[in-house]
Structure formats: C-alpha cells, structure tokens
Amino acid sequence: MSDKKLIGFIGVGVMGGPMARRLLEAGHALLVFDRSEAATSALASLGATVAASIKEVVDSASVVFTSLPSPAILTEVALGNGGIAEGTAVKVLVDLSTVGSQTQKAVAAGLLAHDIQTVDAPVSGGAAGAAKGTLTIMVAGQAGAVAQVTPLLERLGKIFPVGAEAGQAQLLKLLNNMLSSTAFAITSEAYVAGIRGGLDPEIMMSVFNAGSGKNGATMDKFPKFVLPATYDFGFPIASVCKDIGLAVDECQALGLPMWVGTTVRTLWNMAAMADGKKRDMTELVKYVEHWSSEDRLPD
C-alpha cells in the first residue's frame, strides 16, 4: 500500500469502528490498531490491515486518526513509550476523542516538538451518526493540517471550523455535550412526572415538540429510543459522566459557578454508581423512575 494513500486509525471501538468503516467504504487503505481483537477483526473483514502496535501505525501512515475513551489514554498513546510522538512517518494526528482542552493542548505541544501537527476534531452524534456519516465535527488546528485532512473528515460528517488552536474544538464539544445531557436529564424528569400524572407519552412528546419545551431529547432520543423501549442510542452513561465532568471542570476554570451543570453531573453520576456505567444513556429515565418510587433498580 502506498504511504500517501494509507491512513492510520488507533481506537476502533464504539465510535472509532464505524468512522473507520466509513473511510474504508470510501476506498481508503486503513492500518488499524486497537487492544480489542474483536474490534480490529471486524474491520479486517472489510479490507483494513491490522497493526501489531501503535508504533507500526505511526511508522507507516502520515495521517493518523485517534478515537480514544479518556484523557489519560490519549496522553499515553500520543506521548508514551512507543507512542505517536515516536513515529517516523506520521505528520498529522487527527484526534476525534473527547478529552478536554487542557489534555489536547498538552498533547499538541508534545507532538509539535516532534514536528507532528494536531487537528483537534471531537465529534457529536453518537454511534448512529458515526455509521451514517452524519456526525457534527468541530475542528481546530493549523490551516495546512486542517486542509490536508478535510476531505477525510467530510466522509464522517459536517465540519465546523472553530479556530487555529488545539483545544478550542474540545471546549465547544464539551459545552454541546453538557447541553445535550442536561436536556435529557430534565426531559426524563418531566416524562416520569407526566406518566405518574396519567399523561399519554406520545401526546406529551408531541406537545413538547410543538411548544417551548422542545429540545434534542424530546425530538430525537425519547421518540426513537425511550418510547419504543429499545434504549439503544449507542452512548453509555459512563461516557456521559466523563464528558459532563470535563465540561463542568472547564467552565469552572473559566470562572463560572456552574450551579445547574454540577447538579446535572451529580444526577448522571448517581445513575452510574447505581450500576449504570455500561447502560445506554437513554436508560437514565429508568433511574429517574426508580428514584421516584420504591421499585427495584432497572432491569
């Protein structure tokens, strides 16, 4: 495979997997690495080459994508032993993770010392959006690096340029996720109150969406995943907790008291502590139902 056409992809799990698949389907040659053999084998069956290590990826591809679950893991993958910074081929890192601005800035500075540019490109839209190529992608980075990877990012969703400094896209992504998780939390409480009061759930959502209570939860997550009781939006409660925790920290660092944000963070963390870390975020409504009754925890 030609190095000019080869793309590296590190982290091909819930979000990274479908994004990598989108690039494969567009005809790009992919070299992938993940600790999960199941994740890489699924892509290998579609034509991707599986690397034995991160070092193999960054010694082979000039553009490398990462989609990783936490700030600590991104830092280790980027700057640790055998990491991206030691690559002999990589020139641009496109980070699709949600890790916060401080981690992204530190990673970008560390990589720049090795002449590797960072494109800060967190995504919003869940696993379904990743599979369909309808993600919202916030992008920050130097113009040349951003221009180089824009055709690849356009395969994944709609791009929103944020700025030239790595970390700016992270801040915007966290603010977006905080709004989304807050909307779902308060909609869950309104929904349970309505059910307790004998209201029809379909009529409730119709009225909310025709009135001033309309939000992303009432328009999308409740009609598609809560009312049909599928609870399979594709984003776990643990990830919501991580994102809103990072968002509150970022906002407090900017001087905001975050009265609402800290309360919503507590609600999501309570669901995670109750046994919900791996549950889909749409199952939060089950915890609200439980907390308002003497019923057992959600099935």
Phi/psi at 164 (5° precision)? -100, -5
Number of structural domains found in the chain: 2
CA distance 54 to 77: 8
The two structure tokens encoding residue 276: 């919900």
In this structure, is residue 98 part of a structural domain?
Answer: yes
- In whole angstroms, what is the distance from residue 243 CA to residue 259 CA? 17
Of the residues 140, 164, 188, which one is the last residue of a structural domain? Answer: 164
State the pLDDT confidence band at 282, using cuts at 50, 70 and 90: very high
Of residues 55, 158, 173, 224, which has the active-site annotation? Answer: 173
For 126-148, the pLDDT digits (tens) are 888 999 999 999 999 999 999 99
**Do both 224 and 249 map to the same domain?**
yes
Instruction: Tell whether 176 and 30 lie within a shared domain.
Output: no
Q: What is the pLDDT of residue 260?
A: 98
Q: What pTM was estimated for this model as a whole? A: 0.90
Give the model's pLDDT for residue 294.
Answer: 65
- 173 included as an active-site residue: yes
pLDDT band (50, 70, 90) for residue 1: very low
Q: Does residue 230 have a pLDDT over 70?
A: yes
User: In terms of domains, do 114 and 203 share one?
Assistant: no
- Residue 4 predicted with pLDDT over 60: no
Tell me if residue 137 falls in helix, strand or coil.
strand
Could you list the residue range(s) of the whole structural domain that residue 115 is in? 6-164
* pLDDT at 296 (0 to 100): 58
The larger pLDDT score, comparing residue 295 to residue 239, is at: 239
179 within a domain of the structure (yes/no):
yes
Final residue in a domain of this structure, among 148, 164, 180:
164
pLDDT tens per residue across span 47-88: 999 999 999 999 999 999 999 999 999 999 999 999 999 999
| pLDDT confidence of residue 276 | 83
In a domain, 222, yes or no: yes
Percent of the chain's residues with pLDDT above 70: 97
- Do the domain assignments include residue 34? yes
**298 found inside a domain:** no
Q: Distance (Å, rounded) from C-alpha 20 to C-alpha 37?
A: 15
Residue 290 one-letter amino acid: H
Is 299 within the bounds of a domain? Answer: no
My answer on whether 126 and 45 are in the same domain is yes
- Say if 297 falls within a structural domain: no
pLDDT of residue 234: 85
267 and 219 belong to one structural domain:
yes
- Asked if residue 1 lies in contact with residue 57, where contact means CB atoms within 8 angstroms, the answer is no
CATH of the domain at 31: 3.40.50.720
In the predicted model, is pLDDT for residue 3 greater than 50?
A: no
pLDDT of residue 2 exceeding 90: no
Verify that 178 and 113 share a domain, yes or no. no
Tell me the C-alpha distance between 93 and 173, whole Å: 18
Task: For CA atoms 50, 54, 60, 65, give the dihedral sign.
Answer: positive
- pLDDT at residue 159, as a whole number: 98
**pLDDT tens for residues 162-219?**
999 999 999 999 999 999 999 999 999 999 999 999 999 999 999 999 999 999 999 9
User: At 244, which CATH number?
Assistant: 1.10.1040.10
